Amino acid sequence: RVGVLSDTHNRLRPRVLELLAGCDRLLHAGDVGEPEILEKLRRIAPLEAVRGNWDTGPLAVLPETLLGSIGEIGGRGGLPFGMVHRREDVPPDWPKRLRLIVCGHSHRPELSWRGDCLLLNPGFGVALLRSRPFRPYTALRLDGACGRGSLGHLPPESAAGTRDDPA
């Protein structure tokens, strides 16, 4: 199980941390906020992150891009993936040679195909920005080599506090 986040902007809802519990690996697609966010996530599972446009100071050491693989597929290694903060910065050869691309920045969840490559943007990791509610958690389940996925979200936070999903 892999948890994917982006654009936390120095905030993690307790419910998100609960939902990430049990993950074998976490991916953060940038705009972390502060190093403490990464520390909290590392307590849950091994974490890989890329630098977003908000990530300065101690977070400026995060890489701009990351390549890796997820899990074993039929004993042939893992699902090759790449991660970058802005979709516009995806190298042109990635959709041809990878099966999954993770990005953030737009604050809009997206799950779409580019040929045989699945593009995932988990959406915005902060509950309120510019007085608009956002859903900060996205779950992706990869089914074998086909990489089928689905998105699911927490309810938005209200001005008075947080609301958790009924599940």
Structure tokens at 153: 């979200």
Instruction: Kindly report the average pLDDT of the chain as a whole number.
Output: 78
- Tokens 């936390």 locate to 8
Cα gap 158→127, rounded to integer Å: 8
Residue 14: burial class (beta carbons within 10 Å; 0-12, 13-18, 19+)? exposed
Q: Which residues pair with 104 in a beta bridge?
A: 86
pLDDT tens sequence across 16-51: 888 888 888 899 999 999 999 999 999 999 999 999
Cα gap 53→7, rounded to integer Å: 10
Answer whether residue 82 shows pLDDT above 90: yes
